Every structure is written in C-alpha cells, then in structure tokens.
Amino acid sequence: MSAGRLFDLLPAPVRDSTELRQALTHRSAAPRHNERLEFLGDGVLNFVIAARLYEMRPEAPEGELSRLRAALVNKDSLAAIARGMDMGAALSLGEGERKSGGHRRDSILADALEAVIGAVYLQEGFEVAQRFVLDLYARRLQDLPSAESLKDPKTRLQEWLQRRGLETPEYRLLEVTGKPHDQHFRSACRIPRRGLECVGEGSSRRRAEQAAAQKALETLAADQEEA
C-alpha cells in the first residue's frame, strides 16, 4: 500500500494501522469499509477548517465564512488533494469499481480522504488530526479566493438581474445521458425579457445549471459592453 505524499503526512502510528486500511477500503471491496470513518472525518474536517477561517478572517460575516469553507471542503477540493497525493493507488475497490475507473472518481477519492481524516482522529486524537488537516490544506489556506468570486454563477446571475429589476432566470433540464454512476446532464438557463437562453453541461443537474448560468452572465456582460 503506497500513496506517496499521503503517507509522508500521516502520523507514523497510523501508516500501518487497521483504521487506515479501513479508511482506504471502498464499500464495493469489503463489508468493513470506510463509510463510518468518512462520516467522522467529515465532522473533523468541517470544524478544523471553520475554526481556521474564523481566525484568519476576523471581520468576515457568516455568509462569507460559509462560502469559503464550502469551497475548501467540497468534493472537488477533496478529490484534488487526494489525487495530488496519488491516493487512488492505495484504494481497495471491488472488481466492478476497479474496471470502471473508481480509483479516479472524485466522489470515491473525496470520501476516502475524509475517512483517512477520521482514522487519524480515532487513533491519535483531535490535535493530531487538526495538524493533519491543516497540512493538507496549507496551500489552499494561503491562497484564499475573494468572497465575491465564491458566489456560484446562479447566485451571481440572480443578483445581476435583481439589480436591474429583471425577473429571476428559468432553468430547464434538457437531457440526461450515460450510465447511472456516470451521468451527463444538459440544462438551459432562460431569461425571457432579454430573449436569452444558454445551455450548460455537467456531471450533475446542478453543475449543468451553473454552467448555463455562467454562459448567461458572460453573454449579458458582453452585451452591456457593446451597448
């Protein structure tokens, strides 16, 4: 079992522990898998990041802190951290998941990393788990984005329209393709009073709508510049 930098960051007693093996075991591989540890690690991760953001941004309102935390602990961020440490190579997966590329799937990587955090907490306690999380997030905490940039495209689009007295956009699911575990969505964002409809695509309905809203924002901004 080897996953490069992950094992360099782990406390020595955890590296060959039963808890770590369980944390890296997907439910498709064995009855004793990582879902309970994932639940525990999720709680530890959210608290540690929330506490650090509270210290780093003493004047930030609750909404800004919530958006910052969500950006740091979401599936995409967790999967990117896990992928950067080659965690996929250390995962125990069932045959079906292995054949379908489960070791590269964001959801599996993100869940496994949360489970590893849970394993560290169980074996070494909160202070060690806190240091582990902050080591994982050191670079991201140094390069925090602005509060405005963290608003998702649907929120920014709605605020843009509201400032101009326009109605909220309408979203419509156009198409769902792919297998149940690997679906692809196409959604439309329509702004009737502007005669505008943009189509977005993504791995979930929400992501497709976000992509469509982003295209609508870009189109509206371009139209405004030309006016």
Residues that are catalytic: 42, 114
CB-CB contact of 177 with 183 (8 Å): yes
CB-CB contact of 164 with 181 (8 Å): no
CB-CB contact of 14 with 20 (8 Å): yes
Instruction: Dump strand ranges (E) for the chain.
Output: 170-179, 182-191, 196-202
Q: Is 111 within any annotated ligand binding site? A: yes
CB-CB contact of 106 with 79 (8 Å): yes
Q: Is 38 within any annotated ligand binding site? A: yes
Closest CA to 207 of 224, 185, 188: 185
Q: Is 143 within any annotated ligand binding site? A: no
DSSP, collapsed to helix, strand or coil, labels residue 189 as strand
- Cα–Cα dist 49/206, whole Å: 25
Q: What's the half-sphere exposure (Cβ side, CA atoms, 13 Å) at 17?
A: 18
DSSP state of 171: E
For the chain, the straight-line distance linking the first and the last C-alpha, in angstroms and rounded, comes to 60
CB-CB contact of 194 with 209 (8 Å): no
**Could you tell me which residues are annotated as the binding site?**
38, 111, 114
**Could you tell me which residues are annotated as the binding site for Mg(2+)?**
38, 111, 114
